[in-house]
Each structure stands twice: as C-alpha cells, then as structure tokens.
Structure 1
C-alpha cells in the first residue's frame, strides 16, 4: 500500500489520488506486470506511475540512499544528485540549490506536494528540514508540468514522507562527530556535532498516527581555537512532527500533518575598522509552524477528488552585535496559506485527465530596531489564483502529457503557460528497454516579496541589498531532450537542456552606489539570459555485491545582454558513487563530488577555484533491530582558502562521526 491506504481499498478503488502525495493503485499507473516492483513516482504528473514510464524524467533519492548516506537534512540528501548544485545562502547559515543553472528562487521545494516556506522571503534553506519522516525525494528538472506554477521555472523537488504503518513501531537514532583540528574547544576528539532522532507510530488499518522528533546540534568550527572569528556557525536545530491518517470510509481518506521547526544560530566574524579588527557577532532564532490537511474521495465510475489546505508561518529574530553593543535587532515574519482542489477523471480511452484550481496568500513583515524595513509599508501581501488542466495520453509505445496553466497574481495580473511532454519506449537488447523523452514548458515567476520590498542590511560587512518595487516577472522557455537505456543491472541516461529566460532577476552588481562606505545594491531584471547544457549519468551493478554510479553535467549560463557568463554557475560538475555490500551485513559506500571553477562577480574575470571532495560511509547491522554506522565526510580535507574572499570551495573540512540506529516493530493482529 501507499501513503497508508489499506490494500483492499487500493484494489477496489484504482484511481485514488491525493494532492499531497497520497498514492494510487499501481495498475492505474500503466505499469506492466514486469515492472510491478519498479520505483513509483508521483511528481511528474501527480498520478502514480512507474519511474521509467513517466513522460517527464523523475530522479529519485530513495530510502536506501538516505540510509546509506546517514542524511539528516534535505541538504544532505540532495548533495549527490547529478546536475544539482548546492551553495551557501549569502549572509545566512544554510544552503540553496540550483537546477540547470537556475537559482534557488526559481526551484520549487515541496513537502508532499505542498510548498515549503522560503528563508526570509528569498529561497528555501535546505538545512531547515530534517528527515525523520522522509521516505524518498523526487526531482523534476525544467518547467515541464502544468501542475506547478510560479517558482518552478528551474524544476521541482518533492519530499515524500513515509506511509504511517499500523501495529506499533519505535525508532531511535543517535550520532556524534568531530572536526579534528578545528573543533571550537581545541580538542581533536571533541564531540562538536551531535544529533538525535526518535519516532513512534502505529494504530489500526483505519486510524494511524506518527510522532517524530529530530535534534541536530553543531558547535561549528574555528581555524584556531583562540580566534574570535568562527567560519562555521554554531547551530541548534529541532523539528517535531505529528501525522494522523484516517480511512473514514472505503472511498474517503483524510490526512492531518503538523510540523514545528526551531533553530538557534550564532555567527562570529571580524570587521576591519582602522587601525584594528572589531569582534562582530550575530544570533538568529528561527521558527516555522506548518499545518496541513489533505482529503481524497474516489467514485468508482466518476474519478477522484482531492482537496488540500496549508497554513505555514515562518519567523526569524536576528540580533547583530559589535563587540558588546547591539547594532541591529531585526524581526521578520512570513506567512503563507494555500488551498487546492483537483479532480482526476476516470480513465477513458487510455487518457487520464486532471483539472485543478489553487489559491495562495503570502505576507511579509520586517522590522529593524523597531522600524519597518519594507519600503513604504509595515506589511506587504500578495495573492495568486491558478487553474490548470493536464491530460496524460497513452498511444501504444507513446505517451503524451499536454497541459496548460493559467495564473492571476494580485500585483502582476494574468499569465498562461503551456506544457507538453512526450515519451516513447520499446524493448532493447535482451530484457532491456530504451526510452526517449522530449518536453517543452513555459516557465513564469513573479518577483517575491523580498526582491521587491525588503532591505537586506549587512552594513557591518560593507553592503546592503535594497528591494526594487519596479521588478517585472521572469518568464522562460524550457526545452528538454533525453534518452534512457536500461538493462538488468545497468542504466545509461543523457539529457540536453536549454532554458531561455526573459527578465531574469539578479542582484545588480554593475550599478552599486557607495554611501558612507557601504555599497548599496538592488535587484534588477536582466533582459535576456540562457542556460543550456548536457546531463549524463550511468548506474552499473557489475556484481551482486558491487555497484557504481557516475554522472557528469555541463552547464553554460549566459547573460545575453552583457555577453558574459552568469555568476556562481560552474560549467562542469561530476558525481561518483561506489557501493559494496560486504560480508557480515556490512555496507561500504564512497561518494565523490567535483565542481569546476566559477565566475565570482559580474564586473571582473575573478573566478573561484575548482574543488573535489570524497565521503566514506559505513553501515553494519548487528541484528534485525540494531545497527551501527560511521563515516568520514570530506575524507581528504579539501577546504576553501579563508584568506581569499573569492574562494567558494567547501566550507567544512574533514568530519568524523559514529552513530547507532535502533528499530522495533510489532505487527497488527
């Protein structure tokens, strides 16, 4: 079963669909019997289907990979995905992602199909979501699906939580680690990072509940114990989640979710004011409260109806100190509410038709030292209304996904974006298959509230970024053409992509003004930009115990107006994975990452150097309940040169850790 639906319900009601990732009977996915156990995905079309048969390619980080990599946060889970670039959020402790050369503002991050709050109105901080409940993560690159609107120009990352099981299950996980030579306390064996995870779930087939908690404490790191400056921030992250699944009737399912995230950070750095350096410190307290409800009803001959609603409130309180004096006391509040209704028609002549409507409300409040930082207002709001229609048609070896999304924004009016995808597949070379995919999607993103109204003040670091109310929406044309060849134990994939963007929103580095020694930047629209390139990957299980994964991505990202490359987009990225299922229930895994040099700023040829890192991961099952794991991240200790402001290589050096994982389950009678 999927998302907690009883097996007998799936068998009787083959078209169940819930917007937040509630799943359907696999037969409705057009999967052939030979693919019964193939991974099933939902993000491409919001209807469940075999991964290889999705008309839009879906990349998957599954439960096995999450367990092998000991991933704690969404950033950990995504760092090995081919073609995906993680980079630090400027001025904050956290990471954003880029897909196909498009930034985190242009990538939609979802939890069970519903958007995750951005960090202070800008981009999703991937470190601010823990993984205790997560089953898998699905990634769709490009603007190929009509189901996703504004903020999905670059693609979609959809985090799918696990089904809540009946009976009774308990789980706990602990990890402790150290950064030799850079622990804040100066001891090589100091436990400078600690994490704990606990879960309890169970119930009856009709009513089930889960409670989960994550806590991640990191003392950060120093280059020298006696230094005031601490390049790696101290942080404490906590996440608490509750989920209730109710099978109210054979045709009606209801799911309630509540998630509370809290974070405390401390940054320490030095600012040079002649003739000496002055100690600076910034603390930030973050809270995210997220509640959602999803319900699905299925008529045996009239299709399926799903309804969802989301309320999310994100707040941060940051205080900047210069020596002992408080310089800035800033508070920000971001609220978002969204509801949606989707109807999936019954299958008719090999067609699956989906029609839906969505409405969302967003608001931003920002104060510094008691005064609003939003230009001319104490609070800014916006509303969006979307209607989408999408039809999935299967014609022999061909499948076509055609859609249209119309959206109306309270500030920018209406826009219509077409979507079209095609897949062809056939048997290939003794039990193998080959799939061709092509897609076109019109992307569209309205400027977020921060880009238009917010003052991002880092005067202590010598700059400010000022919102620009005159910004216009971005639009894009996304083209994808790919081929996948599969045989038992082997998969080869290649994809050519191109994104033509108009009015791309970037920080305007060319027209900075200097006032009292502080550089004032603003956001600006770049009239024309283009990202294009090639993604390739290979997976090969060359013996029953060994498997190898290799991937290479080439990206050319250009500001066509200025005739130069866009900043912070490396041309070359590579990923490597090697797994060995050793004797005595031991798993050994290596993960390698390479990134070429990248342009640092628009008005010079300065480049950040290339880098490569390797991680070693070990897992050993002591029995069917208890396992021990260990790892070394950044095995060869490749770290940036902190004396260079133009080096954006790895922030953290070598990290060594050890942990325990315990699971216990009682089946329902």
Structure 2
C-alpha cells in the first residue's frame, strides 16, 4: 500500500499539462463569502439572511488550510471542541457543552453511522469531495430527529461541473523528533488524491480517490507505547446523475472507506506490564439514490440510502504467536425519505417530509455475541415546517417533528426560529435572531444491548434494555451585523437544559475465573445537566490582500445533581486567524491560533487539565496557472500533553508537524 501511494504521489506531481491550465488563484468573490446555506431551514437562504445561526466551512477554506479530513476542516469553527476518541485513533466533535453522542453528522443530509459507541470519527471523512460544511448548534431535532440535541454537522459534497474538470494532490509530512524510532529526518505521513468530473446539460459523473498513510508518531521514546497509529486510510466515491430537463434531477452514488491502523499499547494486569499491538480494521460502504422534481404542485425530493459499517479489532500480545481479544462489530442502516416544499404565496414557504429509518447491530468477542444477532430498531417520522415573513423584515420558522419508534413509541419535537431585520446603516444590516427547540435522543443499540467485556483488565460494561430517551430544551438568542461582502459580527447566547442523560454507573463487583475483582458498570438514566454561555464571532476583509477572523466562546456547565461543573468542558476558547494574499504573485499566507482554558477531568472538580495555545501557519503559492505548491507547520508551539498523565491531561496529542504538497486543478 505504501509503495502504491508513493508511486501515485510521483505520478500526480508530474501531471502538469499547459494545454489544460486555467487560473486557480483563491477567490475574493463576495458570493463565496456569503454562500447559500440549507441546513438550518432545509431551504436555500443566503448565509447572512438565515434565521438559524449557521457556520460555514467553504471549499476555499478547506484548500487554504490544507484540511485533509473533516476534523481538520472544523478546527477554526468557533465554539467547537475536537476531542480524541477515548482509546481510539480518531476525533469527535462537541458543541455548546454537549458531547459527540449528541451531535449528528450528515453527508448530504444522510446520517453517518457511529464508529464507536454513539460517536462519529470525523477523521474518517476525507475533505477531497467536500463543497462546504454547514454547522448548526443547539437542538435541531425538529428537522433532523434523534441525536441532534447538540447540533448538526452537514457535509455537502462537491457537484460535478459542466465539461471535464480534474484535481490531483500529493503531500508528505513529518513529526520531526516524534517520528517513530530513529527516523526524525524521514517522511512520516503521505497523502495522494485525485478527482475527475464530467458533465453536460443532460448528465454528469464524478470519481474521487483519496489515500493517506502514516507511520504514526511517538512522543515517549524509550517506551513500547506509541501515541499515533501507523496504517492506511483509503476512500473512493463515485456518482452519476441525469438531468433530463431543468425541472428534474436523478442521482445514484457509491462511497467506500477503509482503514487499517495499528497502535503499540501497554496494559497492566496484576501489576505486570503486557506489551500489545492494537490493530483495527474498518470498512464503510454507503449506497444511495435521490431525486428532485420541480412541478406546479411544489418541489418533490426523496432518497433511498443504505450504509454498512464493519469494524474488527485485536489486542495482540506480542509475546504469543496468536492474536488475542478479537472483537468485531457490524452496523447497518437503511433510510427512505420523501419531502415536499411549496411556495404557498410570495412570503410563505411550506415544507413537509416523511422518513423511515432502520438500524441493526451485531457484535462479537471471539465467537461470543456481545449483542444478540438481529437486534434492531426502526422509526417512522413526519416533519412539517412553515417559513413565513410576517412583515418585510420579520421572518418566523415554526416546525414540528413526530416520531414513532419501534421500542419507545411516540415523541414530538417542536421548534421555533425567528429573524428580525432591525435597520440598515450604510452597507451594514443589523438583525436579531432567536430560536427555541426540543431535542431528544433515543438510546442507541449499544447502550441498550451491548456487553463490553474487559474483565481481563478489571471491568465490564453492561447494556440496559430499560433505558429511556434523553431530552433537552435549547434556547438561542443572537444579535449581529453584516455587509453581505464577508464582513460580519455575530453575538449568540445559548442555554441547554438536558434531562434523563445517559451515563455509565458502577453497579456491582464480581470475581473472575482467577478470583480477581471485576467492576461491573451499566448504562442508566440519571444525569440532569445544563450548559450556558455566549459565542462571539467576527470577520473583516480590510481589502483583497488582508482578512482577519476570530471567535470567542465562554461556557459554563453544571451537573444538577451535584452543582459541580461537567468534565472536559473548558470555560474559555479563543480562535483567531489572519489571511494575507499577494495580488500579483497569488501568494497566500494563513496564520491560525487556538487558545483553550483549563478543564476539569474528574467529577469532583479537583483535577484540572492545563490551558494551552497552538498556532498553525499555512502557505499556498501558485507557480504555473493550475499548479500550486503548498506547505505549512501545524502546532508551531509544539504544545503537547504529558502522556504519563494521559487521563488527566487534555492538551493536544500531536506535536509539531511539518508538511509540503502539490495540487493541480483543471
């Protein structure tokens, strides 16, 4: 696999054909700074006019910041917390103090199955095929159903263009002193990707390929344990569409992802260190079709979707010839939707939709079922939303979602959003925006049926079939100003009140076959919590050469049972960036910085992880029309956690990282 990637990187680097070249310099088009968004209301609106606060990561942002996956694309979004998944190689997203179990990740509106527990690993989603990412915070269950209590991340893929277009990219990087073994001067990571799209007024197709490889990184030389996983990630997506006329569009697509990762870990049993290789292989297949028809009776759209995610892990003791502790899981999802939208009159837009959803889970440890085969859940859901301008400047968007779940019966989730244009000062429009929504989350199949047996290291987690759904009330109130040309200021207050929160709790202790004590935990509805705070974000392009942007978040959280703060939720977060572009040379220089304050790591609020600051620098240099050389240094400050206190130190895991790449577009 590594030889193939190296060969592909060399091939991509030599694909320069002057006959196909066109200008690919970064755009400063105002429309690119004020795009059309759809996630907040499921209808097209300019970002500056949306009644639901929406944050957008554009294709231009992804390229300027050299984001390889969704995790890296989201790093500059104010208020988002990107956290390493516990004992995994990937990252998850937290919003407004709600953890990743309560954040819904979508690709073109279709859900992404959790790779672990209820968590989506956003490093598994390559950035190559992304047109933009829309982020909506707070309870949006009225639009997107269960698991959207904290918010929604909707990844919108790139459309095929008219004519023939291509893009190819090659990149190599190094962790320097953290490269494994004695290879501090060698390449530790590589990436090669390519895209081609072909289209005319009647049909279009696109093919995307992305391959990433890594030797991992080792921040504790001299020990067996390594922190970064060694292995490969590969993604392939193809789509084909037919547009017989301007009122109809039909599309089918297939998406495949595979990862094969290995970590060196040390486990302690009876005071004795056991050296292991933790191997994980994951495969994800997404198949789907969708249509849009614009008729005199309204706009009709629908989709059929199927996803299969398989994950297999080993914890292989290197002192023995066989692979031990094999665990495999398979999650399958089916979804069918039918939606209707209609412009009732000029200031009145009605939307309604039906959805069927089914999910199954099977999990085995060796040949023993940890989840009974055939365990599944299904739901039928109905959505209605009205978008009305009561006056020229006052827009209200009420909505209601009704869900019938096979195991939990009926549930209703209402919501209401509004936006009032206050006044116009020169080019600046002033507005106030508010929203209230009811969120809920049905317990997932693992929480209800899973037996997570780690008795060999002293604990077991048991599923609880008697769990009840979680629920939340979310309140958002914002004030802002924008000039429609990329300059804006947005101040948003939020409050989330959560009940019946599901968490693990100690239930008993039992003896294993050797007589050692094993702690038994179970999922229960016990917690009541709230999060509250304020988010400030702003951007200003001084001229085509300079642009600054940033965001500050202050957040408080509380476990209502104890009155103490929830763990792993910092009070302060500051993100800021500056972008410089030389008009004649096309040189683009980007500097991004993140500051995050201390956060409690224990429920008694006696232990704190230190505050931290990181800075990244990015450079893009067009050298011949379509050909761009790019590179950068991530985490210039080399901020890194103390791995001897890994459960108490939440600072970044990756240290300083250097990389250089080449991109060709045509």
Deviation of 1:327 after TM superposition, in Å, equals 2.7
CA–CA distance in structure 1, aligned partners of residues 525 and 33 of structure 2: 47
What's the counterpart of residue 665 of structure 2? 663
SS of residue in 2 equivalent to 1:481? strand
What's the counterpart of residue 638 of structure 2? 637
What's the counterpart of residue 502 of structure 1? 499
Cα gap change, 1:170 to 1:490, in 2 (>3 Å): closer
Cα gap change, 1:462 to 1:274, in 2 (>3 Å): closer
What's the counterpart of residue 595 of structure 2? 594
What's the counterpart of residue 565 of structure 2? 565
Deviation of 1:262 after TM superposition, in Å, equals 0.2
The range that moved more, 128-137 or 526-535, is 526-535
Q: Is the 8 A contact 2:437 2:475 kept in 1?
A: yes
Deviation of 1:604 after TM superposition, in Å, equals 5.3
Structure 1 residue corresponding to 2:367, chosen from 367, 370, 373: 370
Residues 606-654 of structure 1 show CA distances to partners (whole Å, capped at 9, x for unaligned) of 1211111111110001122100000100001000001113112100100
Structure 1 residue corresponding to 2:351, chosen from 342, 354, 374: 354
The range that moved more, 499-508 or 190-199, is 499-508
Structure 1 residue corresponding to 2:104, chosen from 89, 108, 119: 108
CA–CA distance in structure 1, aligned partners of residues 621 and 454 of structure 2: 47
Residues 71-94 of structure 1 show CA distances to partners (whole Å, capped at 9, x for unaligned) of 111111111110000111112111
Structure 2: 5+ residue runs without aligned partners?
A: 1-29
Residues 153-208 of structure 1 show CA distances to partners (whole Å, capped at 9, x for unaligned) of 11111001111012111211011000111111422221110011111110322111
What's the counterpart of residue 649 of structure 1? 651
SS of residue in 2 equivalent to 1:565? coil
CA–CA distance in structure 2, aligned partners of residues 531 and 86 of structure 1: 17
What's the counterpart of residue 405 of structure 2? 409
What's the counterpart of residue 15 of structure 2? none
Cα gap change, 1:571 to 1:577, in 2 (>3 Å): same
CA–CA distance in structure 2, aligned partners of residues 269 and 560 of structure 1: 37
What's the counterpart of residue 44 of structure 2? 48
What's the counterpart of residue 616 of structure 1? 617
What's the counterpart of residue 319 of structure 1? 314
The range that moved more, 176-185 or 286-295, is 176-185
The range that moved more, 562-571 or 36-45, is 36-45
What's the counterpart of residue 262 of structure 1? 258
Structure 1 residue corresponding to 2:242, chosen from 237, 241, 246: 246
SS of residue in 2 equivalent to 1:651? coil
What's the counterpart of residue 26 of structure 2? none
CA–CA distance in structure 2, aligned partners of residues 629 and 481 of structure 1: 40
Cα gap change, 1:258 to 1:440, in 2 (>3 Å): same
Q: Is the 8 A contact 1:178 1:656 kept in 2?
A: yes
CA–CA distance in structure 2, aligned partners of residues 130 and 606 of structure 1: 36
Q: Is the 8 A contact 2:207 2:237 kept in 1?
A: yes
Q: Is the 8 A contact 2:172 2:187 kept in 1?
A: yes
Deviation of 1:255 after TM superposition, in Å, equals 1.2
Deviation of 1:481 after TM superposition, in Å, equals 0.1
How many pairs are equivalent? 627
Residues 90-128 of structure 1 show CA distances to partners (whole Å, capped at 9, x for unaligned) of 121111111111111111111011111111442111011
What's the counterpart of residue 57 of structure 1? 53
What's the counterpart of residue 341 of structure 2? 344
> Scaled by the length of structure 1, what TM-score is found?
0.91
Are positions 1:233 and 2:229 aligned together? Answer: yes
SS of residue in 2 equivalent to 1:346? strand
Q: Is the 8 A contact 1:338 1:361 kept in 2?
A: yes
Deviation of 1:145 after TM superposition, in Å, equals 6.3
Deviation of 1:237 after TM superposition, in Å, equals 0.6
Residues 486-515 of structure 1 show CA distances to partners (whole Å, capped at 9, x for unaligned) of 23563111100001111011233x657475
Q: Is the 8 A contact 1:97 1:104 kept in 2?
A: yes
CA–CA distance in structure 2, aligned partners of residues 552 and 387 of structure 1: 37
Cα gap change, 1:90 to 1:512, in 2 (>3 Å): farther
Deviation of 1:568 after TM superposition, in Å, equals 1.3
Deviation of 1:571 after TM superposition, in Å, equals 1.3
CA–CA distance in structure 2, aligned partners of residues 193 and 461 of structure 1: 33
Are positions 1:309 and 2:342 aligned together? Answer: no
Q: Is the 8 A contact 1:317 1:330 kept in 2?
A: yes
CA–CA distance in structure 2, aligned partners of residues 477 and 35 of structure 1: 35
CA–CA distance in structure 1, aligned partners of residues 59 and 344 of structure 2: 31
The range that moved more, 301-310 or 541-550, is 541-550
SS of residue in 2 equivalent to 1:361? strand
> Scaled by the length of structure 2, what TM-score is found?
0.91
The range that moved more, 112-121 or 349-358, is 112-121
Deviation of 1:524 after TM superposition, in Å, equals 2.3
Structure 2 residue corresponding to 1:85, chosen from 81, 84, 90: 81
Q: Is the 8 A contact 1:366 1:379 kept in 2?
A: no
What's the counterpart of residue 492 of structure 1? 489
Q: Is the 8 A contact 2:422 2:432 kept in 1?
A: no
Deviation of 1:48 after TM superposition, in Å, equals 0.7
Are positions 1:437 and 2:422 aligned together? Answer: no
Deviation of 1:451 after TM superposition, in Å, equals 1.3
What's the counterpart of residue 280 of structure 1? 276
Deviation of 1:276 after TM superposition, in Å, equals 4.4
Are positions 1:473 and 2:475 aligned together? Answer: no
Are positions 1:211 and 2:207 aligned together? Answer: yes
CA–CA distance in structure 1, aligned partners of residues 403 and 364 of structure 2: 31
SS of residue in 1 equivalent to 2:433? strand
Q: Is the 8 A contact 2:141 2:439 kept in 1?
A: no
RMSD value over aligned CA atoms? Answer: 1.8
SS of residue in 2 equivalent to 1:52? helix
What's the counterpart of residue 28 of structure 1? none
Residues 561-590 of structure 1 show CA distances to partners (whole Å, capped at 9, x for unaligned) of 122111111111110111111352111111
What's the counterpart of residue 538 of structure 1? 538
Deviation of 1:456 after TM superposition, in Å, equals 3.1
SS of residue in 2 equivalent to 1:232? coil
What's the counterpart of residue 159 of structure 1? 155
Cα gap change, 1:37 to 1:215, in 2 (>3 Å): closer
Structure 1: 5+ residue runs without aligned partners?
A: 1-33, 665-669
Q: Is the 8 A contact 2:564 2:605 kept in 1?
A: no
Q: Is the 8 A contact 1:271 1:460 kept in 2?
A: no
Deviation of 1:235 after TM superposition, in Å, equals 2.8
The range that moved more, 34-43 or 267-276, is 34-43
CA–CA distance in structure 2, aligned partners of residues 593 and 482 of structure 1: 23
